[in-house]
Chains A and B, each alone.
Chain A
Amino acid sequence: MLTYLIRRIAIIIPTLFFVSIIIFGLQQLLPGDPALALAGEERDPQVIAFLRHKYHLDEPLPVRYELWLGGVLRGDLGESIRINKPVLDLVLEKLPVTAELAGMAILVALFIGIPAGVISAVKNGTFIDYGANVFALWGLSTPNFWLGFLLILLFSVDLGVLPASGFVPPGEDLGKNLATLVMPAFVLGNAIAAVMMRHTRSAMLQVLSADYVRTARAKGLEERTVVLKHGLRNALIPVVTLGALEFGQLLSGAVLTEQVFTIPGFGKLIVDAVFNRDYAVVQGVVLCTATAYIVLNLCADIAYFLVNPRLRA
Chain B
Amino acid sequence: MTAIPVEAATAAPELPDDRPWRRALRRLVRRRGAMVGLSIVLFFVLIAIFAPYVAPYSPIATDWGAVRKAPSLAHWLGTDEIGRDVLSRVVFGARASLMAGVVSVLISLSLGVPLGLLSGYVGGFLDGLLMRIVDAMLACPFLILAIALAAFLGPNLTNAMIAIGISAMPAFVRLTRAQTLATKVEDYVEAAKAVGNPHRRIVLRHILPNILAPIMVQATLAIAAAIIAEASLSFLGLGQQPPAPSWGSMLNTAKNFLSQAPWMAWWPGAAIFVVVLSFNLLGDGLRDALDPKHK
Residues of A within 8 A of B (CB): 11, 14-19, 21-23, 26-27, 29-31, 137-138, 140-143, 145-146, 149-150, 152-153, 157, 164, 202, 205, 247-249, 251-253, 255-256, 259-260, 270-271, 274-275, 279, 282-283, 285-286, 289-291, 293-294
Contact = CB atoms under 8 A, between A and B. Distances in A.
B277 A141 contact: yes
Contacts of A249: 141-142
B42 interface: no
Given A251-B144, A271-B147, A285-B144, A146 B277 contact: no
Nearest to B277: A141
Contacts of B135: 11, 15, 18
22 contacts: A11-B135, A15-B132, A18-B135, A22-B137, A26-B149, A137-B277, A137-B281, A143-B232, A146-B251, A152-B258, A157-B258, A157-B259, A253-B143, A256-B236, A259-B235, A274-B150, A274-B238, A279-B151, A290-B139, A291-B139, A293-B140, A294-B139
B142 A252 contact: yes
B232 A22 contact: no
A293 B255 contact: no
A202 B149 CA distance: 35
Interface stretch (B51-59, B174-182, B191-199, B268-276): B268-276
B179 to A, nearest CB: 20
A29 B145 CA distance: 13
Interface of B: 132-133, 135-145, 147-154, 224, 228, 231-232, 235-238, 251, 254-255, 258-259, 262, 265, 268-270, 272-273, 276-277, 280-281, 284, 295
Contacts of B133: 18
A26 B135 CA distance: 17
Given A141-B273, A143-B276, A15 B139 contact: yes
Contact of A293 (B141, B232, B284): B141
B153 A29 contact: yes
Nearest to B264: A149
Interface residues of chain B: helix, strand, loop or mixed (majority): helix
- Which 7 A-B residue pairings sit nearest by Cβ, starting from the closest? A146-B269, A18-B136, A252-B143, A248-B141, A141-B277, A274-B151, A29-B152
Contacts of A283: 148
B258 A153 contact: yes
A274 B147 contact: yes
Contacts of B149: 26, 29
Contacts of A150: 265, 269
Nearest to A253: B143
A125 to B, nearest CB: 11
B148 A26 contact: yes
Given A16-B136, A255-B236, 12 more contacts: A15-B139, A26-B149, A27-B152, A137-B281, A141-B280, A142-B273, A142-B276, A271-B236, A282-B148, A282-B152, A283-B148, A290-B141
Contact of A251 (B141, B236, B251, B277): B141
Contact of B231 (A143, A248, A293): A143
A158 to B, nearest CB: 9
Contacts of A138: 277
Contact of A252 (B137, B138, B141): B141
Contacts of B153: 29
Given A260-B255, A274-B147, A19 B140 contact: yes
A152 B142 CA distance: 26
Contacts of B277: 137-138, 141
Nearest to B227: A143
Given A14-B132, A249-B141, A271-B147, A143 B280 contact: no
B144 A149 contact: no
B235 A256 contact: yes
B259 to A, nearest CB: 5
Contact of A141 (B136, B142, B151, B276): B276
A140 B265 contact: no
B104 to A, nearest CB: 15
Nearest to B142: A252
Contacts of B132: 14-15, 17-18
A289 B136 contact: no
B129 to A, nearest CB: 9
Contacts of A137: 277, 280-281, 284
B200 to A, nearest CB: 28
A283 B273 CA distance: 31
B141 A15 contact: no
Contacts of B147: 255, 270-271, 274, 282
Given A145-B232, A251-B141, A286 B273 contact: no
Which of B147, B224, B235 has the most chain A CB atoms closer than 10 A to its own CB? Answer: B147
A300 to B, nearest CB: 13
Contact of A157 (B228, B262, B273): B262
B168 to A, nearest CB: 12
A219 B263 CA distance: 59
B269 A31 contact: no
A259 B256 CA distance: 12
A261 to B, nearest CB: 10
Given A145-B235, A149-B255, A153-B262, A289 B295 contact: no
